[in-house]
Structure 1
Amino acid sequence: MRQDVEALDISDVTGNWVNAKVLAAGIEARITALADLADLPLFFGRLDYRHAPGADLAEGASGENFYIGRRHVHDADGDPMVIDWRAPVSQPFYRASRTDPMDVALRRRFGYTAGELTAYEDEHLTDPAEAATASRLLQDEIERPRVGPMRDIVATIQPEQHEIVVADVSGTVCVQGAPGTGKTAVGLHRVAYLLYAHRERLARTGTLVVGPNASFLRYIEQVLPALGEMQVKQATVDDLVAHVTVRGTDSADAARIKGDARMAEVLRRAVRSGIATPKEAAVVVRGSRRWRVPAYELQEIVQELAARDIRYGAAREALPQRIAHAVLVQMERAGEAPDDRVQDAVARNPAVKAVVKECWPPVDPARTVLRLLSDRQFLASCADGLLTAEEQETILWARPARGLGSARWSAADAVLIDEAQDLVRRTPSLGHVVLDEAQDLSPMQYRAVGRRCSTGSATVLGDIAQGTTPWATASWAEALAHLGKPEARVEELTRGFRVPLEIIGYASRLLPAIAPGLAPATSVRESAGALSVREVPPAALDDAVVTACREALTHEGSVGLIAADPRLPALSAALTAAGLPFLAPGEETSATARLTLVPASLAKGLEYDYVVLDDPATLVAAEPDPRTGLRRLYVALTRAVSGLTVLHAQPLPEELA
């Protein structure tokens, strides 16, 4: 298939060089999408139908066999050899069961080792004599050691996951998923499915995956290309709102207030604060005629536009046209017959421009936010009845900036600028947005993401128990309201596939303290000896950590050493002195070392075969409040998919006792 595309001659098929460039780029993208991936087999399953799909069952039509794979593959004659996993005929591979075989007689799973076919396993769904057993190949695939970036789960998608993957594009889905339930993979595979089922629509409107940080995006960046989808953009929330250079930081209290939904109304008042009522009539001179629009009529026009819920910039563009229309009415009454060109000329008249400048001045979003955070009186007038005096003092800059160039913007300030910019000009909407680790977003960040899918849909992924920011959401209903998708369907995934039962059970001891309303997660995996908790003397902690890392490296797969951020310099020095090479999160995609030193603040969403956790009490104490610290600990405890070693020099938090 790739050779056929490479052999295409497009030298004389386009009318100009622009079309030739576009066509060449499309062909190049197709060649890239058809690249051989040695470790990713083209097919992983087979379905033997009792009858040909779509045939009249009463006719007794003979069945057909279909190989299921990551992408469609056809032979030299164009006949299909492998069917895309997203095609309708492939769906029973994930959904068929003995109670509902969906006309499938046989489901076959193939097992691979290093890209070589090594095993297969059959389920005769309509044979009552065959006992139902757990799939060994499925278990082996789930437990396969992990090295490098995240991989797809297309061969192991479970029915409850598949239901979310194929949900209709017109609706927003929120997935509350416990650790190890595959919610991130479900979100990525949902994008791949939607691009298959609605390719023309989403190619026109665009798709976007929003992750919590750059390390996480590097970790997941290979999943969609492996499924043949090369055009999906990825970004963090900070990337979306990067209108200014972020050089400053906020206190936790200031960031919490700036992220509060009340700031949306504060900004709306700030943006519209310059709207003024006309005091004098406008006199438009055209040739020898003078046309007068009285002050009261100008006031009515301005008040009507101010009362309408439209963007500030759109209203400012409409104002001169509305004044010009009032002039044209007078012209028609005087017997003239003006057309659209006359109206446009009147709208550009100096007298009309003067009214617009006086009553609806231009607004620069960044300068508006700068004034709001620097000018105490301006903030007080805009925040009256919304923020307390104490809250206003908290977000005011200690040193007011003299201009945009000297402003030390924080990440929360950039979100405010994005809100102000949308109040002036509507933010373009995409067709579908996947928002991962959504529980950590502030209301204002939810609004920023929601603007990017205001006319599209979204897949929201997260776990309330893993919220580790001071503004972490308390409920999905509240979060979805801020996102602008209050009607979204909330699905809960509680059956884990990656994290062993022993580990998830230990971590779940924290749930009553950090998320009382959530049900503890279960796991399909049991692994005796997966959890080890060791107490060591404080002076021997670093050496014990190095020893535990060496032990973990004797096993196959990736190893993550997770520690409180302030502990990283000491542990880095200890690993270097011991001669153990290590990586930073995100570097796994291109390096060969298997040990990663992971700051607890970046551990969310990452997975390692074996995890060594350094001193939980220090990790909890590094956070601004105990509950956030326990949530951070919950995240760290649930990153392991084969084994977890917990080393503590201080007493463990009482919730783990």
Structure 2
Amino acid sequence: MPTAPADHPPDTALATEQEHLRESRSALGRMRAATAGLTAHGADRIATEKLKEVLHRRMLSLQDDPTVPLFFGRLDYDRDLGAEHDETLYVGRRHITGEAGGEPLVIDWRAGMALPFYRARPADPMHVRRRRRFGFSHGSLTAYEDEDLVDAPAAEGPGSTILQAEIERPRTGPMRDIVATIQPEQDVIVRAGLDQSVCVQGAPGTGKTAVGLHRAAYLLYAHREQLSRSGVLVVGPNASFLSYIGDVLPALGEIDAAQATVESLLADATGLEVRATEPAVRARLKGDARLAEVVRRAVWGHVTPATQTLVLPRGIHQWRVPAYVVDEVVAELRDRAVRYEAGRTMLAQRLAHRVLLRMEAAGDSPDDRVQAAVARSREVRAYVGALWPALDPGRLVLRLLTDAAFLATAAEGILDADEQRELQAGRPGKTPRSARWTLADLALVDEANDVLNRTPSLGHVVLDEAQDLSPMMLRAVGRRASTGSMTVLGDLAQATTPWSVGSWEESLDHLGQPGAVVTELVEGFRVPGQVIDYAARLLPVIAPTLTPPYSVRRSAGELDLRRTGDPLDGTVAAVREVLGRAGTVGVVVADLQVGDVAAALGAAGVAYDLLGEGPRDFDVDGDVAERRRVELVPASLVKGLEFDHVVLLEPAHLVDGEADELTGLRRLYVCLTRAVTTLVVVHAADLPLALAA
């Protein structure tokens, strides 16, 4: 229960804290007003526009949401414990400065002085005598709870009642930040240095996605100048997932991180669109890491030996570079492992330099301007174009997928005849713009583009649901952090694509981050104990090497298995039942059953949102927001999402709808672990044996 500090009566202490909240909110308003009053004047128009952008971003970071508390904790530092001063610091989502002397009313949760809020314990109080947590409702202070870090015994798990209540608070809308509930083992990941790549193997409900986003926020705070130049990117599995997590970083005051799916990332990079799907066996082959060497050979196979002397007429002279000299220059460039297009540019300059050497030997005194003119001359450009031709990555990959002889040359010793035929079975089209590209195709085009021109690197990339990417997709994401670092998030037990990689070690190799530290999170804070224990029955089959997760929640939640003769009626009944409780409702069904369930909900007058498509209303009385608490979710899109209550229809159909049983059971594991409070499983068919055990 919340307790008041010994030096204040309870009502006085709470009133004092409420006054500090009011003062902090007023100070934040003054900070925003002061920023709004600034005028941007740079040395020139470009500098002025840049200053305006900085001020605009500063204004956005100072926005105040009255429903969100400005601080959630307090630390009482004690000089007797080694602190420099006896002082009290309030911990919140952003730094807030007071009027008098600029003293901090609230310190940013990412600041070094806030670290004890997450990691201090009786065995190591970190100079703090007392840690206080605050309870809030709609942005207003309602309670507080103190933890004596010096004299109190150590507690197991999240012993704080307020902390437990925050963890178990019902979900409404998009994902929210977890700054008030970050656990010590999560905080270690969040505050890992920018020079360190981290891989988090996280069971459902362990907060791996939130940890990754908070690490991005921490790095943007600790390395703002560097990352403002090099950039931060968050890569998620689909647009619905990005929409779900989209409010987290802005809520923490960070708006500089870009977001993308693998598909949108590749589409933007290649200028092409995904317009088709393909059989799993072909997609798996295209995603094989061996295709990187096939693409590399296809590109560099266009460089041919010189067959004639370069002749450059200038005035009354004709300057010549023999073919064997040209081959020496080409060999030297190839040995330097330059990118293809850089090599073409350098070849023209090297040949021009050879011409200048001959001019100097004849008594001329050419300068750099002459060399540049020679390199740009029609004769040199034509000679280089014949020897080292310009290439288009889309056309090159299209030729690999349609020209049997070209593929056979590039894939010799890498792909056998059957694999080559399978690779070309799709025949996407004749031109890059009209071709029916698949996602696996775009990864190949991106690979070709990187062989031609080095892909620019960002400062940090957060990759979520990484277990579902093929080696070639991993390579595509990894080269966006070739000189930066990564936070890789996922769960091998939730790998539901036929082209997924089987271990984190292999995935990290494909990402170009073999030195990343792999951390396993198994403490579940969101999925109820009964639900996670039930889902974990599948682990010996789908991921026998992983540590089974467990829930630290005091509330075990509710698991309800319902066998029925009419599963559609049973689903509607279950939805109506859980609608009587607080929180969101997710109706998770096999993709092929979405139409039938939608019709059943509509016939019953239940309003719902179809994930990715928007609301469906059926003349239901009541508030619109209240009516749209139900979301109908195809099983293929549910990964990464969570709902207070989940109604799951026909586990056996979910399994049967996948390419193989292992993938189906993993998909089922994902679906079973989306509930925060209640899971109702409605079925007419027998449950899979692994669950029925």
* TM range, smaller chain: over 0.9
Query: Does structure 1 conserve the Cα–Cα contact (< 8 Å) formed by 2:460 and 2:486?
Result: yes
The residue correspondences of 1:331-410 to structure 2 (distance < 5 A) are 331-399=359-427, 401-410=429-438
Query: Does structure 2 conserve the Cα–Cα contact (< 8 Å) formed by 1:52 and 1:62?
Result: no
Change in CA separation of 1:236 and 1:504 when aligned onto 2, cut-off 3 Å:
same
Residue 83 (structure 1) shift: 0.3
Question: C-alpha offsets along residues 419-446 of structure 1, whole Å, 9 cap, x if unaligned?
Answer: 1111111111100000000000000000
Match for residue 444 of structure 1 among 467, 472, 475: 472
Match for residue 255 of structure 2 among 216, 221, 230: 230
Change in CA separation of 1:367 and 1:528 when aligned onto 2, cut-off 3 Å:
closer
Query: Does structure 2 conserve the Cα–Cα contact (< 8 Å) formed by 1:369 and 1:417?
Result: yes
The residue correspondences of 1:514-529 to structure 2 (distance < 5 A) are 514-528=542-556
Query: Does structure 2 conserve the Cα–Cα contact (< 8 Å) formed by 1:562 and 1:598?
Result: yes
1:5 corresponding residue in structure 2 = 35
Alignment of 1:110 onto 2:145: no
The residue identity in structure 2 corresponding to 1:193 is: Y
The residue identity in structure 1 corresponding to 2:95 is: H
1:556 corresponding residue in structure 2 = 582
2:297 corresponding residue in structure 1 = 269
Change in CA separation of 1:17 and 1:323 when aligned onto 2, cut-off 3 Å:
closer
Distance (whole Å) between structure 1 residues aligned to residue 129 and residue 584 of structure 2? 39
Q: Secondary structure at the match of 1:118?
A: strand
2:444 corresponding residue in structure 1 = 416
Residue 391 (structure 1) shift: 1.2
Query: Does structure 2 conserve the Cα–Cα contact (< 8 Å) formed by 1:247 and 1:410?
Result: yes
Change in CA separation of 1:128 and 1:24 when aligned onto 2, cut-off 3 Å:
closer
Distance (whole Å) between structure 1 residues aligned to residue 192 and residue 302 of structure 2? 46
The residue correspondences of 1:83-102 to structure 2 (distance < 5 A) are 83-102=107-126
Alignment of 1:136 onto 2:161: yes
Query: Does structure 2 conserve the Cα–Cα contact (< 8 Å) formed by 1:278 and 1:355?
Result: no
Alignment of 1:150 onto 2:168: no
Alignment of 1:646 onto 2:681: yes
Query: Does structure 2 conserve the Cα–Cα contact (< 8 Å) formed by 1:271 and 1:420?
Result: yes
Query: Does structure 1 conserve the Cα–Cα contact (< 8 Å) formed by 2:579 and 2:585?
Result: yes
The residue identity in structure 2 corresponding to 1:357 is: G
Q: Which moved more, 1:522-531 or 1:143-152?
A: 522-531
The residue identity in structure 2 corresponding to 1:618 is: H
1:160 corresponding residue in structure 2 = 185
Alignment of 1:184 onto 2:214: no
Could you say what the CA RMSD is over the residues aligned between the two structures, in angstroms?
Answer: 1.8
Unpaired segments ≥5 residues, structure 2: 1-30, 616-623
Query: Does structure 1 conserve the Cα–Cα contact (< 8 Å) formed by 2:529 and 2:557?
Result: no
Query: Does structure 1 conserve the Cα–Cα contact (< 8 Å) formed by 2:176 and 2:248?
Result: yes
Query: Does structure 1 conserve the Cα–Cα contact (< 8 Å) formed by 2:588 and 2:634?
Result: yes
Change in CA separation of 1:311 and 1:180 when aligned onto 2, cut-off 3 Å:
same
Question: C-alpha offsets along residues 264-315 of structure 1, whole Å, 9 cap, x if unaligned?
Answer: 0111111122111111111222222222211111111122223431110000
1:607 corresponding residue in structure 2 = 642
Alignment of 1:194 onto 2:219: yes
Q: Secondary structure at the match of 2:593?
A: helix
Change in CA separation of 1:569 and 1:230 when aligned onto 2, cut-off 3 Å:
same
The residue identity in structure 2 corresponding to 1:623 is: E
Match for residue 579 of structure 1 among 605, 625, 641: 605
Alignment of 1:425 onto 2:453: yes
Identity %: 57
The residue identity in structure 1 corresponding to 2:581 is: H
Distance (whole Å) between structure 2 residues aligned to residue 18 and residue 367 of structure 1? 38
Query: Does structure 2 conserve the Cα–Cα contact (< 8 Å) formed by 1:502 and 1:527?
Result: no
2:96 corresponding residue in structure 1 = 73
Change in CA separation of 1:189 and 1:238 when aligned onto 2, cut-off 3 Å:
same
Normalising by structure 2, we get a TM-score of 0.91
Residue 526 (structure 1) shift: 4.5
The residue correspondences of 1:491-510 to structure 2 (distance < 5 A) are 491-510=519-538
Residue 490 (structure 1) shift: 0.4
The residue identity in structure 2 corresponding to 1:80 is: P
Distance (whole Å) between structure 2 residues aligned to residue 591 and residue 639 of structure 1? 21
Greater relative contact order (Cα 8 A, min sep 6): structure 1 or 2? 1
Query: Does structure 2 conserve the Cα–Cα contact (< 8 Å) formed by 1:440 and 1:471?
Result: yes
2:672 corresponding residue in structure 1 = 637
2:571 corresponding residue in structure 1 = 545
Question: C-alpha offsets along residues 101-141 of structure 1, whole Å, 9 cap, x if unaligned?
Answer: 01100000000112211110000101257988811101000
Change in CA separation of 1:597 and 1:348 when aligned onto 2, cut-off 3 Å:
same
Match for residue 146 of structure 2 among 122, 130, 146: 122
Query: Does structure 2 conserve the Cα–Cα contact (< 8 Å) formed by 1:507 and 1:634?
Result: yes
The residue identity in structure 2 corresponding to 1:642 is: T
Query: Does structure 2 conserve the Cα–Cα contact (< 8 Å) formed by 1:216 and 1:586?
Result: no
Distance (whole Å) between structure 2 residues aligned to residue 304 and residue 71 of structure 1? 54
The residue identity in structure 2 corresponding to 1:557 is: G
Q: Secondary structure at the match of 1:471?
A: coil
Q: Secondary structure at the match of 2:671?
A: helix
Residue 346 (structure 1) shift: 1.7
Q: Secondary structure at the match of 1:274?
A: coil
The residue identity in structure 2 corresponding to 1:161 is: Q
Q: Secondary structure at the match of 2:601?
A: helix
Question: C-alpha offsets along residues 324-351 of structure 1, whole Å, 9 cap, x if unaligned?
Answer: 1212222233333322112112212333
The residue identity in structure 1 corresponding to 2:661 is: P
Residue 399 (structure 1) shift: 4.7
Distance (whole Å) between structure 2 residues aligned to residue 68 and residue 588 of structure 1? 38
Q: Which moved more, 1:344-353 or 1:639-648?
A: 344-353
Q: Secondary structure at the match of 1:502?
A: helix
Unpaired segments ≥5 residues, structure 1: none
Query: Does structure 1 conserve the Cα–Cα contact (< 8 Å) formed by 2:528 and 2:557?
Result: no
Change in CA separation of 1:129 and 1:362 when aligned onto 2, cut-off 3 Å:
closer
Change in CA separation of 1:412 and 1:431 when aligned onto 2, cut-off 3 Å:
same
1:473 corresponding residue in structure 2 = 501
The residue identity in structure 1 corresponding to 2:652 is: A
Residue 204 (structure 1) shift: 0.5
Q: Secondary structure at the match of 1:477?
A: helix
Distance (whole Å) between structure 2 residues aligned to residue 529 and residue 515 of structure 1? 25
Change in CA separation of 1:528 and 1:35 when aligned onto 2, cut-off 3 Å:
closer
Residue 401 (structure 1) shift: 2.4
Change in CA separation of 1:288 and 1:62 when aligned onto 2, cut-off 3 Å:
closer
Match for residue 321 of structure 1 among 349, 352, 359: 349
Alignment of 1:626 onto 2:661: yes
